Structure 1
Amino acid sequence: GKATAQGHAGAQFNLGFVYIGGCGVPKDDRLAVEWYTKAAAQGDAGAQFNLGTMYRTGRGVPKDGRLAVEWYGKAAAQGHADAQFNLGNMYRTGHGVPK
C-alpha cells in the first residue's frame, strides 16, 4: 500500500507479519524478511526482534547466529523484553557470539 511504499515502519512491520502468517496472502518467509528488514532499519524494535528470531531459526534466511545477536541487540537496546531474554540466552549458550 501507499504507507509501505512511503517507508512507514509500522506498515512495513505489518506487511512482514501478514506474509509470515499467510494472512490473506500466500505464506512467504522471504517477503516477510524483506519487509521486517525495511522496518527494522528504521528502528522498529518488533521487526528487529522478529529478524533476530528468523536468523536464529533459519526461517526465510540462512541460519546466522551473528545476525540474530545483532538484531536482538538492537531491539534489546530499545527495551524489547523478549529480545533481551533471547539475547541473554544466546550469550549464555555461546550461539552467535565469540566464545
Structure 2
Amino acid sequence: MVGAWNSAERTGRKLISLRVLVSWIALSFLSAATIGIAHAGDLARSNAAYARRDYVRAAKALSHAARRGNREAQGRLGFMYENGLGVPQAYDAAASLYIDGARQGDPFAQSRLGLMYDKGHGVPQDFVLAYKWLNLAAGRASRRERDFFLRLRDAVSSKMTPDQILEGQRMALDWRPGEW
C-alpha cells in the first residue's frame, strides 16, 4: 500500500482526483444550499400568505418550490388543489402532487395520497394502496402525527380482508424513496 503512494505519477493523479472531488463536493453543497434557500423562501412566503388567508399568493409561492421538486411544497400545494384553496379544486392535480411528494418520502403527502386512494379522489379507489401510503406516513411522521396516521390506516384496514392488509404491509416494507 505504501508503495502505491511512492510513485510521483500516482500521487499527482490522486491529488488531481482529490481536487476534482473536493471541487465537485463544494459545488454540490453550494447548489444544494442555494436551492434550499430558494425553497425556504418560497415556503416562508407561502406560510405567511396562508396565515393571511391569501391562498392565491400561497399557491403561487408553493408552485415555484413544487416545480423545483420540493416534497413539502408538493404536499402543501396538493392540499390546496384538493380543497380548492387559491386554485381550482382538482383532485387529479392534488393526487399528482401528492404522488410526487410521497415518492420522495414526505409523510404529509403520503398520508394525503393514502386518503385519496381510500376515497377514490383523483385516483382509482384502492384500499391496499391507501393502507400502504398511510403506513409509510406513520413510519416517517413525527411522534405527534404518527398516532393520527395510524388511526387513519386502521380505519382503512377495517374495510380490507386479511390478505389485502398483508399485501399493503408488504408493499410498505418493500418501498424505497423514489419508487412508486
TM-score, L = length of structure 1? 0.87
Query: Match for residue 121 of structure 2?
Result: 59
4+ residue runs of structure 1 moved beyond 6 angstroms?
A: none
Question: Helix, strand or coil: the match of 1:14?
Answer: helix
Question: Helix, strand or coil: the match of 1:71?
Answer: helix
> Which of 55, 60, 77 is 1:15 aligned to?
77
Question: Which amino acid is the alignment partner of residue 98 of structure 1?
Answer: D
Q: Which structure 1 residue ranges, 5 or more long, are not aligned?
A: none
Q: Using the TM superposition, give the Cα deviation of residue 15 of structure 1 relative to its aligned residue in structure 2, in angstroms.
A: 1.1
Q: Which structure 2 residue ranges, 5 or more long, are not aligned?
A: 1-62, 165-180
Structure with the bigger RCO (C-alpha within 8 Å, sep 6+) is: 1
CA contact (8 A) 1:37 1:47 kept: yes
Question: Which amino acid is the alignment partner of residue 85 of structure 2?
Answer: C
Query: Match for residue 85 of structure 1?
Result: 151
- The 1-side partners of 2:90 and 2:162 are apart by 29
Q: Does 1:95 align with 2:157?
A: no
Larger CA Rg, structure 1 vs 2: 2
- The 2-side partners of 1:46 and 1:97 are apart by 26
Point out the structure with the larger helix share. Answer: 2
User: What are the Cα deviations for residues 11-47 of structure 1, in whole angstroms up to 9, with x where unaligned?
Assistant: 1112101111111221100000000111111111111
TM-score, L = length of structure 2? 0.50
